[in-house]
Amino acid sequence: MGTPQTKSDPNTARLSGLSLPKGAGWASAARKSALERVITMGLPGRRDEYWKYTDPKGLNGPVAAEAAIIDSTDAPGFSADSLKIVFVDGVFNAEASDDLTLAGIEIDRLEDVTASDIHWARDVYGVLEQAGQDPVARPLAALNTAVASDGVVIRATGKAAKPVSILYMRKSETADVVLHHVIKVENGAELTVLEDGSAAARLNMVIEVDVADGGAFHHIRTQGREHERQAVTHIFGRLGQESLFKSFTLTINGALTRNEAVLEFTGDNATAHVAGAAVGDGKFHHDDTVFITHDAENCESRQVYKKVLRNGARGVFQGKILVKAGAQKTDGYQISKALLLDDDSQFLAKPELEIYADDVICSHGSTTGAIDEDALFYLRSRGVELAKAQDLLVLAFLADAIDEIDDDGICEELLTRLQAWLERRQD
Amino acid sequence: MAKAEDLKVKDGVDQDTVEAVQSISGTYKYGWETDIEMEYIPKGVNEDIVRLISDKNDEPDWMTQWRLAAYERWSQIEEPTWAMVDYPKIDYQDLYYYAQPKSMAEKPKSLDDVDPKLLETYQKLGIPLKEQMILAGVEGAEDQPAEGRKVAVDAVFDSVSVGTTFKEELAKAGVIFCSINEAIENHPDLVKKYLGSVVPPTDNFFATLNSAVFSAGSFVYVPPGVRCPMELSTYFRINAENTGQFERTLIIADKGSYVSYLEGCTAPKRDTNQLHAAVVEIVIMEDAEVKYSTVQNWFPGDENGVGGIYNFVTKRADCRGDRAKVMWTQVETGSAVTWKYPSCILRGDESQGEFYSIAIANNYQQADTGTKMIHLGKNTKSRIVSKGISAGKAQNTYRGLVSMHQKAKNSRNYTQCDSLLIGSNCGAHTVPYIEVKNNSSRVEHEATTSKVDDEQLFYCRQRGIDEEAALALIVNGFAKEVLQALPMEFAMEAQQLVAISLEGSVG
């Protein structure tokens, strides 16, 4: 806790020398102020309490480590009908993308938006990120705000006719990508954003989502199935009165992933659900860090995170519910569970509650263990072979998190991907 | 306060609790001070002071060197700031590190030589130090209706141990129970071997300070196979102004032994803060078991947050042998600021650690407390039950670590942390760390935060129990699992404390 302090850091010189993208006055000011924040905070290090369980070295070094591209025929994407926006190695690709017009929403590129003098995005870009820096510093997000030049800017003014899917293709083994999306869901509007793909050898992504009163935002993301890629993502959400925010992330493989969700309730009677399922094998480090601030009455927040780890994979969960004084009638729930398939894997968790209001119901739970022997025996006694029985139990374990998604079709699709992951590992 | 006549006629109410609430007339009943001539050493801490303290205790050279090394280390490290507590910076040079009653300058040969004023102090606290005399001298005393079980007491007044009771009877069983200073003199081999082996002098800021300047505290050694014939207990009393208390307790339970140890603490009401930085080390060998219970009732400061004790304590038990067992039970109602994490190192296979805690914070109190369960051996088990109650403008934090190392196969942990909030200006926080590094172990953690159930309160009120009594009743129910883990002598005191600590938190 406490205010960020200036740290002397070998990276400081490098940061001070960064050249920021060109843009309109407001955009340059936002970037400059973000860079100042990073320099004040310093890049994260092993001694930072917030990075106790995850070594940020791969994420904040000057160059990205090379990451091999796996040989796969699966192109990113979901079967549901959607408006497709494609990025190749972190650069918007107009040819592969659909026409960016859709009833109920406006879509722009960050590059264009930051060049125009007047745009609604100035009230969101870097603003939610900055708000999310207190009480815990998130320097990699501020760095993103400072240097990002590409991303999408979406404004939903009504009910979007269909979901927007953002697909990330990879061609380069060394692409070091910074993307920044800005989303605004206006009063009573509805938007679903789907994301798929590994994006880069190293990815630093920030999504800022401003949901106005009565707005609804759904977000489903999968992070590809590349083994060597590294990623740090932040979603900053600001929730107005009676709004709804739902975000789910599926992570399969990846050498290093840190997904942060930083949400704040600013209006009463709103709901936020964040969930994630992660499966990893061997050189896999996956960190879910969630920080939900209740600063309004009668809001409900829910965190459901599940991880399946094997062959020395490591899972991390850092969750926090902060209920500010006056945020009465808060209902906060948080669960993190890990299934360790062998003795080399690890799960490290820090599920926190910080509560300053009395009329609240907050609970959290965290469990870690192996596959239930009794359940396994039951399936075996019914003639299910061992490997199959284990797979069934793994899928059942992950289903709790996947059930957080409203769309049944997507649930099925994700389960199929998990099934495939399990099968690939059979040999 | 509860009106006695209103309550007596009601059935179905836990009479003990109701009486406990009635019996208390002031908010902090141990707030008086003993007017006794004190001898201080100069304020502040430096090498000379450390030597002087060592000298006061007639210590051998190795002990002096040990202290000096700790002081050297302490002067290089900084006070930790990670706990969720907020207090003005402590000026470590503005404290007395040693204070003793003048009458203790010459060591008394027996309790008879002890200043009657001191004994009176303990009488007032309800601790029968004189008991020893009766039992030693008069055979018939045993026929007197004894108050429950016998308890051996080591009483500590500021920096010195006033006396230890039942020494002879314990010696018959082979149990050594004396002040740490006597142990350094009489059992140097044991002290040399174990002191600092669980909490090394370099452990943390407060433990390191303690290592340099400690005086008084208890030493217990239970030989192999011995079940300590009675409960051992220490009462700590800070009396002198501007004085820090730095006691050090070392308990060694040899193979197959058992001991139950109780600790109580009080201090007078003062409008300045006082520092208490103690260290407790417990070594538990194969098949041995130690129960350590604390009722911490240091002066918590007044209702405006003025005064009170800063309680920065390091407590750790090391289960060195297989099947060793330790149980920490604590009732934390006092202190302005509490910083305390009694921990268990489960090194031996099949060793067990348990932690039961009630932490009550009212007015401007701040408590940051919890435990560490470090599983190193196979088939080790631990259980954590923590009940935090916040009222007034208090902040109460549970902070804990459960760590399953890779070799700790088939280990088990269950953690339950419940917080109760009374009033809308207080805070309740939970900061658990869970680290699991093998897959045959199971770790479960649950935590809830809620307020006092209006329906329960209404039920009590409509049966004529006034609001404060009802609240004490409900809170005692909330904390029942922990209260039940306390030895008899403490359970009653703890229930009463729950009621007193919550006074003024409703309406």
Rounded CA separation A396/A398 (Å): 6
Q: Check B445 against A366: CB less than 8 A apart.
A: yes
B93 touches chain A (CB under 8 A): no
Residue B133 confidence (pLDDT) = 40
- Span of A6-20, A80-94, A408-422, B108-122 with lowest mean pLDDT: B108-122
Q: Tell me, what amino acid is at A76?
A: P
Looking only at the bridges linking them, the beta strands covering A256-265 and B99-101 are unpaired
Residue B21 confidence (pLDDT) = 42
- Interval B333-352 mean pLDDT: 94
Residue-by-residue DSSP string for B227-259: B-SSEEEEEEE--STTB-B--EEEEEE-TT-EE
pLDDT band at B481 (very low <50, low <70, confident <90, very high): confident
Rounded CA separation B50/B55 (Å): 9
Taking every pair of Cα atoms in chain A, the longest distance, rounded to a whole number of angstroms, is: 70
**Burial of A112 (C-beta count, 10 Å sphere; 0-12/13-18/19+):** exposed
Tell me if A337 sits within 8 A of A303, measured CB to CB.
Answer: no
Examine the pLDDT at B123 and tell me if it is beyond 70. Answer: no
Q: What is the per-residue pLDDT across A202-257, written as a single tens digit (0 to 9) for each? A: 999 999 999 999 999 999 999 988 999 999 999 999 999 999 999 999 999 999 99
Q: Check A343 against B436: CB less than 8 A apart.
A: no
Of the partner residues A355, A358, A366, the one whose CB lies closest to the CB of residue B434: A366
Q: What CA–CA distances, in Å, run from A94 to A13, A187, A192, A206, A268? A: 36, 30, 21, 21, 40
pLDDT band at B110 (very low <50, low <70, confident <90, very high): low
pLDDT over 70 percentage in chain B? 82
Structure tokens at A350: 């820090």
- Could you tell me which residues are beta bridge partners of residue B312? B339
pLDDT band at A424 (very low <50, low <70, confident <90, very high): confident
Specify the 3-state DSSP secondary structure of B81.
coil
> What is the distance in angstroms between the Cα of A220 and the nearest Cα belonging to chain B?
28
Structure tokens at A118: 């007047």
Tell me if A183 sits within 8 A of A209, measured CB to CB.
Answer: yes
Looking only at the bridges linking them, the beta strands covering B343-346 and B325-332 are unpaired
CA atoms within 13 A on the CB side of B444: 7
- Interval B476-498 mean pLDDT: 80
Q: Check B443 against A367: CB less than 8 A apart.
A: yes
Residue of B nearest to A356 (CA): B427
DSSP annotation of A159: B
Q: What CA–CA distances, in Å, run from B55 to B186, B242, B485? A: 16, 22, 41
Which range of A72-76, B356-360, B374-378 scores highest in mean pLDDT? It is: B374-378
Q: What is the per-residue pLDDT across A210-224, written as a single tens digit (0 to 9) for each? A: 999 999 999 999 998
Mutate to test the interface with A, among B375, B417, B430, B442 (most CBs of A within 10 A): B430
Rounded CA separation A72/B227 (Å): 68
pLDDT band at B127 (very low <50, low <70, confident <90, very high): low
Q: How many CB atoms lie within 10 A of CB B318?
A: 24
Q: Check B431 against A352: CB less than 8 A apart.
A: yes
Selection from B434, B372, B438, B445 nearest residue A346 by Cα:
B438
Residue of A nearest to B446 (CA): A365
Residue B25 confidence (pLDDT) = 35
Composition of chain A by helix, strand, coil, percent to 5: 20, 40, 40
Cβ contacts of B404 on chain A, cutoff 8 Å: 368
Residue B27 confidence (pLDDT) = 59
Residue B144 confidence (pLDDT) = 39
A187 touches chain B (CB under 8 A): no
Strand (E) or helix (H) holding B212: helix B205-213
pLDDT band at A427 (very low <50, low <70, confident <90, very high): very low
Q: How many CB atoms lie within 10 A of CB A400?
A: 15
Residue of A nearest to B389 (CA): A358
pLDDT band at B203 (very low <50, low <70, confident <90, very high): very high
Q: Which residues contact A29 (CB under 8 A, 6 or more apart)?
A: none
Residue B134 confidence (pLDDT) = 36
Specify the 3-state DSSP secondary structure of B393.
coil
Pick the more confident residue, A139 or B155.
Answer: A139
Residue B113 confidence (pLDDT) = 64
Mutate to test the interface with B, among A328, A353, A360 (most CBs of B within 10 A): A353
Selection from B219, B235, B151, B136 nearest residue B182 by Cα:
B219
- Interval B183-200 mean pLDDT: 94
Which ipTM value was assigned to this complex?
A: 0.87
Residue A415 confidence (pLDDT) = 93
- Interval B161-176 mean pLDDT: 81
Of the partner residues A338, A365, A370, the one whose CB lies closest to the CB of residue B446: A365
Selection from A317, A351, A306 nearest residue A332 by Cα:
A351
Q: How many CB pairs under 8 A join A and B?
A: 120
A335 touches chain B (CB under 8 A): no
DSSP annotation of A64: P
Examine the pLDDT at A144 and tell me if it is beyond 70. Answer: yes
Tell me the CA end-to-end span of chain B in Å, nearest whole number.
Answer: 12
Domain boundaries, chain B: 4-501
Examine the pLDDT at B26 and tell me if it is beyond 60. Answer: no
- Interval A33-56 mean pLDDT: 93
- Span of A46-50, A364-368, A390-394, B111-115 with lowest mean pLDDT: B111-115
Of the partner residues A1, A349, A355, the one whose CB lies closest to the CB of residue B427: A355
Cβ contacts of A338 on chain B, cutoff 8 Å: 436
Residue B148 confidence (pLDDT) = 42
Cβ contacts of B445 on chain A, cutoff 8 Å: 349, 351, 364-367
B322-360 as b/e, with b when 16 or more CB fall inside 10 Å?
bbbbbbbbbbbbbbbbbbbbbbbbbbbbbbbbbbbbbbb
Residue B39 confidence (pLDDT) = 77
Specify the 3-state DSSP secondary structure of A335.
strand
Tell me if A182 sits within 8 A of A211, measured CB to CB.
Answer: no
Instruction: Map A181-195 to HEC letters.
Output: EEEEECCCCEEEEEE
Q: Tell me, what amino acid is at B364?
A: Y
Residue-by-residue DSSP string for A254-286: -SEEEEEEEEEE-STT-EEEEEEEEEEESS-EE
B173 touches chain A (CB under 8 A): no
| Predicted TM-score (pTM) of this structure | 0.87
**Burial of B224 (C-beta count, 10 Å sphere; 0-12/13-18/19+):** middle
Q: Check B441 against A325: CB less than 8 A apart.
A: no
Structure tokens at B396: 């109460």
pLDDT band at A201 (very low <50, low <70, confident <90, very high): very high
Cβ contacts of B406 on chain A, cutoff 8 Å: 343-344
Q: What CA–CA distances, in Å, run from B224 to A164, B70, B349? A: 73, 32, 19
Tell me if A414 sits within 8 A of A221, measured CB to CB.
Answer: no
Q: What is the per-residue pLDDT across A298-308, written as a single tens digit (0 to 9) for each? A: 999 999 999 99
CA atoms within 13 A on the CB side of B12: 5
- Span of B23-37, B119-133, B282-296 with lowest mean pLDDT: B119-133
Of the partner residues B422, B436, B447, the one whose CB lies closest to the CB of residue A353: B447
Residue B13 confidence (pLDDT) = 43
Q: How many CB atoms lie within 10 A of CB B18?
A: 22
Q: What is the per-residue pLDDT across A331-359, written as a single tens digit (0 to 9) for each? A: 999 999 999 999 999 999 999 999 999 89
Cβ contacts of A362 on chain B, cutoff 8 Å: 448-450
Residue of A nearest to B444 (CA): A367
Tell me if A175 sits within 8 A of A90, measured CB to CB.
Answer: yes
pLDDT band at A36 (very low <50, low <70, confident <90, very high): very high
Residue of B nearest to A366 (CA): B445
Q: Tell me, what amino acid is at B371?
A: T
Q: What is the per-residue pLDDT across A278-321, written as a single tens digit (0 to 9) for each? A: 999 999 999 999 999 999 999 999 999 999 999 999 999 999 99
Residue B492 confidence (pLDDT) = 75
Q: Which residues contact A383 (CB under 8 A, 6 or more apart)?
A: none
Q: Check A370 against B439: CB less than 8 A apart.
A: yes
Selection from B155, B388, B159 nearest residue B278 by Cα:
B159
A376 touches chain B (CB under 8 A): no
A68 touches chain B (CB under 8 A): no
Long-range contacts of B196-199 (CB under 8 A, 24+ apart): B196/B66, B196/B281, B197/B281, B197/B283, B197/B318, B198/B281, B198/B282, B198/B283, B198/B316, B198/B317, B198/B318, B198/B345, B199/B279, B199/B280, B199/B281, B199/B314, B199/B316
Of the partner residues B82, B446, B449, the one whose CB lies closest to the CB of residue A360: B449
Q: What is the per-residue pLDDT across B222-273, written as a single tens digit (0 to 9) for each? A: 999 999 988 888 887 777 777 788 989 999 999 999 999 988 877 777 777 8
Residue A8 confidence (pLDDT) = 53
B366 touches chain A (CB under 8 A): no
Specify the 3-state DSSP secondary structure of A410.
helix
Q: What crossing angle do the helices spanning A373-381 and A386-402 adopt, rounded to 10°? A: 120
